[in-house]
């Protein structure tokens, strides 16, 4: 055991070898923050070292920055500091005092847990900063008059150059390495407040702030976190949805990312990462918050009192505030819609829906030429889930599912219904628990605008 005042030769006795992140996982992290050099994944922070390699960053019991193992709560690796004028970090060169009981400073092998590895793999090049901005680029000074008197504020605040700023938070806010300051007159952000701010006064939106080592002073990122309203991001990615669906997607996405109807720092950063992943195709950091088809709830199937016939009641297309169905507006693809209304075959139905899904970012497998039980198999580049959609035309507010319309009851092979290649993909996805069962098609009835809809029922077609 080391004596209380003994000096350890840090560069020799404590190695970084067991703290490096696997090289193949490094590209999956966010880009380095232009001020602090910190790279993030959810609540974890990483830094690139000047000597090469990337390590998980943490604090020890005295709040010093150190390399951290993924299995420890308090960092115990070599002390680290940021290289002045660079986004790179380095280990502190001078020797460290090793106190009695500090034997945990000896590094232990860093092995990513299965959960951590899968999460990092799912995060492909997600960014909290714009690709066009260099990591070492200097930022203009923050000049907003957002100062507060902390004596009269119940929520959290940070202090920069003796000026106090109100931060985006709530009572159950999650820990996160990035903080956001906000105008003092703004209450806690819900979807409507943030959307209105981004639409009407975008310069009044929150700003990111991080602590800069070695003295952990605060610096404010003066750039706008969001370039446009939340609904505008959704419109760019899903151009054919109705206005109601557009807002329902954006609202649901906000609530999922924040794990609440109200924003916190982790949720705002997650939204920024999602929107950046939409601009830079690849695996999304949060697929269930990125794809509206994965956000849909499962609608119940009811059985008829007269026997085996089943049906699904469709939610009202104009319902706001909840995402129970996706609707696509025929006025946005009027030429295709007018032509489709003159056709009646299942093959033409599949062609119409294939074009619609493709315009909205999905990759549809080649439809089969089978002329009954129309269905499609499709995917999205941001995740590895597979969608199977059965197609219907309805003129009432429900989908009727009599037994004679069930291909399994009719003895139709899946390979005939959707093609051999698609059937193979569906069976493999089902075995991996990655299949999503959908129904959709056209709803044309009096009193509501014509619409093309998609719902989720999770009724296996196998």
DSSP assignment letter at 151: G
Does residue 30 surpass a pLDDT of 60?
yes
CB under 8 Å to 139, separation ≥6 — which residues? 34, 35, 221, 222, 223
What pLDDT, on the 0 to 100 scale, is given for residue 305?
Answer: 61
Does residue 126 surpass a pLDDT of 80?
no
What pLDDT, on the 0 to 100 scale, is given for residue 105?
Answer: 27
Q: What is the pLDDT of residues 293-340, one digit of tens each?
A: 999 999 999 876 665 678 999 999 988 889 999 999 999 999 999 999
CA distance 228 to 40: 23
Cβ distance 317 to 243 under 8 Å?
no
Distances (CA, A) of 433 to 328, 409, 459: 28, 24, 13
Q: What is the pLDDT of residues 248-290, one digit of tens each?
A: 999 999 999 999 999 999 999 999 999 988 987 777 788 999 9
The average confidence (pLDDT) of the chain is: 84
What pLDDT, on the 0 to 100 scale, is given for residue 132?
Answer: 34
- Residue 427 is encoded by which pair of tokens? 């069976």
Cα angle 130-133-134, degrees, rounded to a multiple of 5: 130
What values do phi and psi take at 425, rounded to 5? -60, -40
What pLDDT, on the 0 to 100 scale, is given for residue 328?
Answer: 98
Kind of pairing, strands 217-220 and 207-212?
Answer: antiparallel
pTM (two decimals): 0.72
Strands lying side by side in the sheet with 54-59: 39-41, 44-48, 54-59, 65-67
CA distance 27 to 9: 33
Residue 43's pLDDT band (cuts 50, 70, 90): low
pLDDT (mean) for 362-384: 94
DSSP 50-83: TTS-EEEEEE-TTS-EEE--TT-SS--S-BEEEP
CA distance 251 to 245: 10
Q: What is the pLDDT of residues 49-61, one digit of tens each?
A: 988 889 989 888 8
- Residue 363 is encoded by which pair of tokens? 């990759």
Sign, CA dihedral 48-51-57-62, equals negative
Cβ distance 284 to 222 under 8 Å?
no
Q: Within 10 Å of residue 229's Cβ, how many Cβ atoms?
A: 18
More confident residue, 84 or 123: 84
CA distance 88 to 52: 9
Q: What is the pLDDT of residues 62-79, one digit of tens each?
A: 888 999 887 677 888 899
pLDDT (mean) for 366-381: 93
How many DSSP H helices and E strands does the chain contain? 12, 22
- Residue 77, classified by CB atoms within 10 Å of its CB into exposed (0-12), middle (13-18) or buried (19+), is buried
What values do phi and psi take at 324, rounded to 5? -110, -15
Query: What is the signed CA dihedral for 271, 272, 278, 282, rounded to 10 degrees?
Result: -100
Beta strands in 60-191 (DSSP E): 65-67, 80-82, 89-91, 96-97, 157-160, 163-166, 179-181
What pLDDT, on the 0 to 100 scale, is given for residue 403?
Answer: 78
What values do phi and psi take at 211, rounded to 5? -90, 135
Cβ distance 254 to 230 under 8 Å?
yes
DSSP 204-222: GS-EEEEEETTTTEEEE--
- Residue 167 is encoded by which pair of tokens? 């931060």
């Amino acid at each position: 055991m080391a004596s209380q005042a003994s000096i350890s030769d840090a560069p020799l006795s404590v190695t970084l070898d067991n703290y490096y992140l696997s090289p193949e996982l490094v590209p999956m992290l966010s880009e380095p923050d232009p001020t602090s050099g910190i790279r993030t994944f959810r609540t974890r922070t990483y830094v690139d070292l000047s000597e090469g390699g990337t390590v998980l960053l943490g604090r020890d019991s005295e709040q010093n920055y150190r390399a951290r193992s993924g299995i420890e709560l308090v960092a115990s690796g070599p002390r680290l500091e940021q290289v002045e004028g660079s986004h790179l970090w380095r280990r502190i060169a001078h020797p460290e005092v090793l106190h009695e009981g500090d034997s945990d400073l000896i590094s232990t092998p860093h092995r990513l847990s299965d959960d951590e590895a899968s999460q990092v793999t799912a995060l492909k090049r997600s960014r909290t900063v714009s690709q066009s901005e260099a990591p070492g680029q200097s930022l203009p000074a923050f000049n907003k008059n957002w100062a507060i008197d902390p004596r009269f504020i119940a929520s959290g605040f940070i202090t920069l150059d003796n000026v106090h700023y109100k931060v985006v938070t709530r009572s159950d806010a999650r820990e996160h390495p990035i903080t956001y300051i906000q105008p003092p007159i703004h209450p806690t952000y819900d979807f409507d407040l943030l959307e209105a701010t981004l639409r009407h006064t975008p310069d009044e939106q929150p700003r990111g702030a991080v602590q800069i080592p070695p003295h952990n002073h605060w610096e404010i990122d003066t750039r706008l976190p969001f370039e446009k309203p939340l609904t505008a991001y959704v419109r760019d990615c899903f151009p054919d949805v109705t206005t109601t669906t557009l807002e329902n997607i954006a609202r649901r996405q906000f609530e999922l990312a924040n794990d609440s109807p109200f924003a916190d720092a982790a949720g705002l950063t997650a939204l920024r990462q999602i929107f950046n992943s939409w601009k830079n195709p690849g695996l999304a950091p949060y697929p269930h918050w990125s794809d509206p088809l994965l956000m849909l709830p499962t609608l119940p199937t009811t059985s008829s009192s007269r026997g085996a016939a089943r049906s699904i009641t469709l939610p009202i297309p104009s319902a706001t505030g909840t995402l129970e169905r996706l609707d696509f507006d025929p006025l946005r693809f009027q030429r295709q819609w007018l032509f489709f209304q003159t056709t009646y075959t299942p093959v033409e139905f599949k062609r119409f829906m294939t074009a619609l899904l493709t315009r909205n970012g999905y990759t549809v497998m080649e439809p089969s030429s089978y002329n009954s039980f129309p269905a499609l198999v499709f995917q999205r580049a941001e995740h590895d889930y597979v969608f199977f959609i059965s197609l219907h035309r309805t003129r009432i507010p429900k989908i009727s599912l009599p037994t004679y319309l069930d291909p399994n009851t009719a003895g139709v092979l899946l390979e005939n219904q959707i093609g051999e290649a698609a059937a193979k993909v569906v069976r493999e996805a089902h075995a991996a628990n990655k299949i999503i069962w959908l129904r959709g098609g056209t709803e044309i009835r009096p009193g509501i605008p014509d619409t093309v809809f998609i719902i989720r029922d999770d009724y296996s077609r196998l």
